[in-house]
Structure 1
Amino acid sequence: MPASIAASNLYRAEPTGSARGTGVLVLAGSSGRLDVGRADALAAAGATALALRWFGGEGQPPVPCEIELELFVAALDLLAADCERLAILGLSYGAEAALLTAVRDSRVSTVVALAPTDVAWEGQHQHDDDPRLSKWTWRGEGVPFVPLDREWVPALDRPAFAPLYLQSRASAGADAVEAARIPAETFRGTLVLVAGEDDQVWPGAQAARRIAASRAEAGLATHVVIDAAAGHPVVLPGETPPDLRRGYQVGGDEGAPQRLGALAWPAIREALHLT
């Protein structure tokens, strides 16, 4: 387990007053950024929010590959000292981390997964001949993952990566996909899944439905929020939005990130016990 987390990889936002009810660990996705704006918005609504940079920062791997899930447990420790409830809110790769952590750390009472995935994926490689490694490890072992199909070629100069993930699932086969499946039905807490049907980064809406179905079979409710015309990004009410321009397609019509965030906000507020 990481002995400590460098201060430069953390940003903590406190609510006004003395309330310290819900502590929320805030995880960005493949941008690798500290989600300061999202942490500030959650603190303004009454949470203690701790944004964590989990790769690319001081003392961290340069890309999301073989990231220790114990890192997120250690970050939760920082919130547990003075918060009654622990939650994780993550986007994309951060949602993947949130779900993988929650099924291992029973202290987590709520997960908000924005643009989620139902399986763990291969870690990012820096060179074409790099070995295939998991994006995550737990207790020194790689988490089972779906390998990315390296034969896939984008159709456009500004690619949409959702077809890569769909092709990779198909080429990996059912057994590999099942081995990499995140067992969200073992998480007994509150789960909110937020996705855009037009997500061009990866098929988040399909994943949300799979997760909800597996939990329903186990008798667990899941709050699923899907906007048919939204894409991958989500901007919550009151959040200072990051630069949403990307060198790849994200999907969604004009204003979709803010609209999806507003649509999901009531469920997020209720799940996190916010004002």
Structure 2
Amino acid sequence: MEVIERTISAPCEGVMVEPVGGSSVGVLVLAGSSGRIETDRCRLLARTGISALSIRWFGGEGQPAGICEIPLETFTAAIDLLQAQGAGRVGVLGVSKGAEAALLLAIRDPRIDAVVALSPTSVVWANVGPGSDGNTYPYRSSWTWEDEPLPFVPYDDDWAPVEENEPIAYRTSYERNRQTFGEAAARAVIPIEKSSAEILLVAGGDDEMWPSLEFAQELASRGASAGRSVKVISASDAGHRARLPGEGPAAPSDRFRYGGTAEADAALGAKAWPDIVSVLEGRVFLGS
């Protein structure tokens, strides 16, 4: 399918990729802590007939340098743009910290019909990097809503990685943080049962960044307890960075261990792809 691609400058720097003739389905695509604009992923979605928008939500002009007290209204403004382009059905696809944002947004913005959360978390975390004031400490929430910071889990600074050198696996850090700050973790739970959106969670059991499969199962359990159907697609050998069909392997990192293998991550993405398209377009989950 032919697509049209254009850069945007408002509400943030970004890119919009649409099928020729437009689409009644619009999806906001959010990167994780890389902060990049997900142009290739938008192109992939547009070729299926979905209009896709990706924005830079931190690290840009006038934005915090890190993921620190990011207003969720940043994303509601992007939803406004999708609707202005003719989207009658709106979805959000996010990975890692972008998945955290997607789930939190769906709880607060009833216009969101579907969420695809790749390598999600079940709780809100403290900031990753500095805020608008240039400071990383003391820890603050990653997100705000209506100028109020969301409850969050801080980081245990006594944690030390097993590895003596980089790249480092941070999974045990996140596991320890929840144990150390149990009361904060209880307050920081993401209450997806309050969202009316259809929710699809994709996670790898070999995720070495954080325990995303455990998080996904917790989210699904919360949904089930409220009579909500939340689908989890997983693979025991995949890591933090599932790759969708048509995407090449993720770039290697000399800082972080993400787990999985190129083959396993691609297989998980291929397994999830039919359901991803299905839920974004508003069709019944395939295989459900």
TM-score by length of 2: 0.89
Check conservation: 2:250, 2:262, Cα contact below 8 A.
no
Q: 154, 173, 195: which one pairs with 2:161?
A: 154
2:213 maps to what in 1? 205
Alpha-carbon distance between aligned partners in 2 of 1:185 and 1:72, rounded to the nearest angstrom: 20
Equivalent positions of 1:132-211 (< 5 A) are 132-156=139-163, 157=165, 158-173=167-182, 175-211=183-219
Alpha-carbon distance between aligned partners in 1 of 2:37 and 2:135, rounded to the nearest angstrom: 28
Q: 1:238, CA displacement in angstroms?
A: 2.3
Structure 1: unaligned runs, 5 residues or longer: none
1:72 maps to what in 2? 75
1:191–1:139: structure 2 CA closer, same or farther, 3 Å change rule? same
Q: 1:103, CA displacement in angstroms?
A: 0.2
SS of residue paired to 1:14: strand
Which segments of structure 1 move beyond 6 Å, counting only runs of 4 or more?
A: none
SS of residue paired to 1:205: helix
Code of the aligned partner of 1:154 = P
TM-score by length of 1: 0.93
Check conservation: 1:46, 1:274, Cα contact below 8 A.
no
SS of residue paired to 1:256: helix
Alpha-carbon distance between aligned partners in 1 of 2:150 and 2:261, rounded to the nearest angstrom: 35
1:273 maps to what in 2? 281
Q: Once structures 1 and 2 are overlaid, which stretch shifts more, 127-136 or 107-116?
A: 127-136
1:75–1:120: structure 2 CA closer, same or farther, 3 Å change rule? same
Q: 252, 256, 265: which one pairs with 1:248?
A: 256
SS of residue paired to 1:263: helix
| Aligned-pair Cα RMSD in Å | 1.9
Q: 1:233, CA displacement in angstroms?
A: 0.3
Q: Which of structures 1 and 2 has the larger relative contact order (alpha carbons within 8 angstroms, sep 6+)?
A: 1
Q: Once structures 1 and 2 are overlaid, which stretch shifts more, 248-257 or 159-168?
A: 248-257
Check conservation: 1:38, 1:240, Cα contact below 8 A.
no
Alpha-carbon distance between aligned partners in 2 of 1:226 and 1:246, rounded to the nearest angstrom: 26
Equivalent positions of 1:109-120 (< 5 A) are 109-120=113-124
Q: Once structures 1 and 2 are overlaid, which stretch shifts more, 247-256 or 125-134?
A: 125-134
Alpha-carbon distance between aligned partners in 2 of 1:130 and 1:222, rounded to the nearest angstrom: 36
What are the Cα deviations for residues 90-149 of structure 1, in whole angstroms up to 9, with x where unaligned?
Answer: 000000000010100000000000000010000024599721110001111110001111
What are the Cα deviations for residues 217-258 of structure 1, in whole angstroms up to 9, with x where unaligned?
Answer: 111111110110000002111235552434210000341221
1:8–1:273: structure 2 CA closer, same or farther, 3 Å change rule? closer
What are the Cα deviations for residues 51-90 of structure 1, in whole angstroms up to 9, with x where unaligned?
Answer: 1111111221111111000000001100011111010000
Alpha-carbon distance between aligned partners in 1 of 2:259 and 2:138, rounded to the nearest angstrom: 31
Structure 2: unaligned runs, 5 residues or longer: 1-7, 284-288
1:46 and 2:49 correspond: yes
Q: 100, 105, 121: which one pairs with 2:104?
A: 100
1:89 maps to what in 2? 93
Check conservation: 1:146, 1:180, Cα contact below 8 A.
yes
Alpha-carbon distance between aligned partners in 1 of 2:104 and 2:118, rounded to the nearest angstrom: 14
Alpha-carbon distance between aligned partners in 2 of 1:152 and 1:241, rounded to the nearest angstrom: 30
1:186–1:244: structure 2 CA closer, same or farther, 3 Å change rule? farther
Alpha-carbon distance between aligned partners in 2 of 1:43 and 1:91, rounded to the nearest angstrom: 18
Check conservation: 1:120, 1:143, Cα contact below 8 A.
yes
